Structure 1
Amino acid sequence: MLDKFSDELREKRLQSGITLEQMANKTRIDQKFLEAIDEGNFAFLPELYVKAFIKQYAKEVGLDETETLKRYQSAKEGKLFQPEQDILQPNTELENNPVEQSPKISVPSPKTQPLKSYNDPSVEKRQAESDNVGKDKILIASAIIGILVIIIAVYLFFIRDTKEIIVAERPFEEVIEQNQQRYIEEIPDAEDDTTILSSDSLYLKFISSEPSWIFVVIDDIKTEEFTLAPNIEHVVSAGNSFKATVGNSGGVKVMLNNNPVEFTGRSGSVRHFSIDRDGFRYLNTPPKLDL
């Protein structure tokens, strides 16, 4: 299904007369990622970035972005995508064969005397007051519900300590901007180096040139997980050792105590390594916290 989906994208791009190089220059997406989409390879980055790239691809070739993402999700699940307008077909059979209505028989109604109308001003006043009270209750209930929703949202996103990562569907540009605000850190000066070394003898710096996801086990007692936007640095400190997984290993450089580490990788591939006082080595399996 994914191969068929990528074939449809590539055919639409060729019909539009757009080359991968032109699309890469316009969207600022690396050409190797666009080539992976053309080849039906959608495992080159985490799902959030893949969907963002597919959305940009569809926009450039003139496809509906929302429908294209739905087609991708259906193809990923091995299902055949069916647009909503194909599902909701009008019932033409009923339109062509209307039900014959039986002739109406008019029955004369008995003549009755018209009822007299009595308007009690006090009753109308009480009804108006009751309506106003009902509206006030609705407004108060709506305000209370809104406040509760805000409190729950603040608790879930800013207060509750959880190891789960909640990934919302947002535009790729917003993800990059948020990561830049969250992970920009100044390079420590001489005094800062002294402060770090006084509590932890090792500190590991990650420098990104491409979007990258990183997971670090520190001294086998705690973990840290973060995402770096391009041209962002992030530092973690430890007393004895680090073990790390780098999601986009070709887009990250590593330094230990301001000394370069001979870490190499490929864009879109995952690599694992450990580093301590004895040196640096690659790992064959992802590191995890030993409980």
Structure 2
Amino acid sequence: MTELGARLKEARTEKGYSIDDLQEITKIQKRYLAGIEEGNYASMPGAFYVRAFIKQYAEAVGLNGDELLETYKKEIPSPANEDVSQNIPSTPTRRSLGGRSSNKFLEIFPMLVVALIIIAIIIIAWTLFQNLPKNSTDPEVTTEKVVTVEEQPNAEKNNNIQIDEPKEEKVVKEVVEPIVEQKLTFVETEGQTSTYHLTGAENFMLKIVATNNTWLNIKDENNQILTDKAVNAGETFELDTSDSTRIRVRLGSTPGNQVFMNDQLVEYPTDMVTQNLVIQFNK
């Protein structure tokens, strides 16, 4: 057992936590937690996760994870340069960007020439049409119509008079349904868990935008796990939770990582690194 493992185990024991308790708190598999205490890092997925798990373990038992990583950095494996380079997206060179722009311009150049020719033809045709001499119009022939009105007796006149009855106008009333806007309301915070109520929505699309690496765990109202995975920096994770009435979103590391519900930002009520966000759907 290393000094770091001994110190973490001592802090866990003082808190009264078992390995199973710590697994439930951190959502880290207990074989990894036991490996940290024993200094056996070979069973873990990689150096990045070793450091992340140690930091999360430390904060769960009340220690400063950053200070521990700095103090025992010689005992902890560092991420290889290859791992870092794989997480950094390659930036296209100026030459490749210029090449693509030139190729795209050459593709649309013939279409631009044809469009200019068509516009020029339309302008010339319109100008010629405006300059054509107008033909003199034929003299108007006025035709007078002789209308013969035969007088009828008053009785016949009265019988032939038609009185138009007023027509009933149908008034169509347009029913305008009120627009209900989505509203996300903060309810309370207890420990690492904060509760929200969401109203005015039919669908519930959850989105996580990660600028830093984090571990993500999502459960529904039946405590069933919907996802349990690592989200790397630069990734966006989306999940349709419309079939649920309540979800719990647990982030192992909140700094720099954003949570959205139907594109509305869910703001963290505290500065804790690890937080649970419980969203109750009121349809």
Q: Which of 1 and 2 has greater Rg?
A: 2
Higher strand fraction: Structure 1 or Structure 2? 2
* TM-score, reference length from structure 2: 0.30
Query: Could you state the TM-score of these two structures normalised by the residue count of structure 1?
Result: 0.29
**Bigger helix share:** 1
